[in-house]
């Protein structure tokens, strides 16, 4: 029975008995409104949650694509680096052939480093040093119409400006050429040799030259680079400290630093490179049969 202001309900509780329930109309109207609002809210929440799931899915997909692109970029970068190093090695081979047959121009870079305020005594000493070097190695240098050239002669290997000793007393743990990178396990080109030794062991210059670099270098850690002239330079990496100062002259066997683990290193050792016109060559050819102090 429905009245103008109330709703009356009869509920059968037990057989033969009815219970009367009177509910004001506004209560039922309020419940109906609340039910509608609740239904709308639930539908909106479901829609919002669905959109959030869609956005999360897109974000994860984009993140996965980004990681894939980063990995591909690193692989391409590694491939480019390896290719460049192989090209450098081919260049070094061509350089060595040119040096053997006397077609490489003479570049006495070891004498080119001059101070802007050099004293007359320094200039005189430098001239004497240059004269002595040229006199000692006259058999391997000839003057042609195109300038001074290196001539094929074994005496050049005896020059104090040619690397000929081990940089540190130890044993070789990694050689020149292709290898697996110890950090990522991927193929890589190793531009030098690794000589393991005790931490803090003295590192020696393998030939006379000028210190051009003695600083931290990405990947190499603490790095010393010596310029020996004729386009030849040597690199000594992963040092613990320096004992050489850029711009100074050093003699073969002189201590230029100490063995360490700086940079990308798995243990105390010296990464040793020999470069010809900045192209890495196999240092082993300069180290065979020689030790520190020979």
Spatial distance between the Cα atoms of 281 and 98, rounded to a whole number of angstroms: 14
Instruction: Give residue 143's pLDDT.
Output: 45
Q: How confident is the model at residue 67 (pLDDT cuts 50, 70, 90)?
A: confident
DSSP classification of residue 137: T
Q: Is the pLDDT of residue 206 over 90?
A: yes
Half-sphere exposure of 204 (CA within 13 A, CB side): 21
On the question of pLDDT at 107 being above 70, the answer is no
Of 163, 185, 184, 180, the residue nearest 272 (C-alpha): 163
| Greatest extent of the chain over all pairs of C-alpha atoms, in Å | 135
Task: Convert the pLDDT of each residue in 209-250 to its tens digit.
Answer: 999 999 998 889 999 999 998 889 999 999 999 999 999 999
pLDDT at 145: 41
Predicted confidence at residue 207, as pLDDT, reads 93
pLDDT at 151: 41
pLDDT of residue 200: 93
How buried is residue 211: exposed, middle or buried, by Cβ count under 10 Å (0-12/13-18/19+)? buried
Note the helical H segments in the chain: 25-100, 120-136, 284-287
The 10s digit of each residue's pLDDT in 119-151 is: 666 666 666 665 665 555 554 444 444 444 444
Q: Tokens 């000594």 correspond to what residue?
A: 236
Res. 94: pLDDT tops 70: no
Calpha distance 83→271 (Å, rounded): 21
Buried b (16+ CB within 10 A) or exposed e, 9-29: eeeeeeeeeeeeeeeeeeeee
Q: What is the 3-state secondary structure (H, E, C) of 32-99?
A: HHHHHHHHHHHHHHHHHHHHHHHHHHHHHHHHHHHHHHHHHHHHHHHHHHHHHHHHHHHHHHHHHHHH
User: What pLDDT sits at residue 161?
Assistant: 85
Average pLDDT score, the chain: 76
pLDDT winner (highest mean) among 108-122, 150-164, 257-271: 257-271
Around 155, how many Cα atoms within 13 Å sit in the side-chain half-sphere? 11
User: Where do we find the tokens 């193929």?
Assistant: 187
């Amino acid at each position: 029975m429905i009245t103008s202001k109330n709703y009356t309900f009869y509920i059968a509780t037990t057989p033969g008995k009815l219970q009367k329930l009177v509910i004001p109309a506004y209560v039922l109207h309020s419940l109906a409104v609340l039910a509608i609002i609740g239904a709308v809210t639930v539908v909106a929440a479901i829609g919002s949650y669905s959109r959030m799931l869609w956005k999360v899915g897109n974000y994860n997909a984009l993140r996965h694509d980004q990681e894939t692109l980063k990995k591909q970029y690193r692989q391409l970068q590694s491939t480019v680096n390896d290719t460049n190093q192989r090209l450098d090695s081919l260049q070094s081979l061509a350089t060595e052939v040119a040096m053997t047959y006397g077609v490489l121009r003479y570049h006495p870079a070891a004498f080119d480093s001059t101070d802007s305020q050099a004293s007359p005594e320094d200039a005189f000493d430098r001239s004497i040093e240059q004269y002595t070097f040229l006199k000692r190695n006259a058999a391997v240098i000839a003057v042609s119409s195109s300038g001074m050239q290196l001539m094929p002669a074994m005496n050049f290997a005896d020059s104090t400006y040619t690397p000929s000793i081990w940089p540190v007393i130890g044993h070789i743990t990694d050689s020149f050429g292709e290898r697996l990178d110890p950090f990522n396990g991927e193929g890589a080109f190793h531009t030098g040799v690794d000589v393991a030794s005790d931490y803090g062991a003295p590192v020696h210059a393998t030939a006379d030259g000028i210190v051009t670099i003695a600083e931290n270098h990405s990947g190499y850690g603490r790095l010393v680079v010596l310029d020996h002239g004729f386009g030849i330079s040597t690199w000594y990496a992963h040092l613990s400290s320096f004992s050489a100062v850029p711009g100074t002259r050093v003699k073969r066997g002189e201590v230029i630093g100490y063995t360490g683990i700086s940079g990308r290193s798995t243990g105390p050792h010296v990464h040793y490179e020999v470069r010809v016109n900045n192209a890495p060559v196999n240092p082993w050819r300069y180290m065979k049969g020689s030790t520190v102090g020979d």
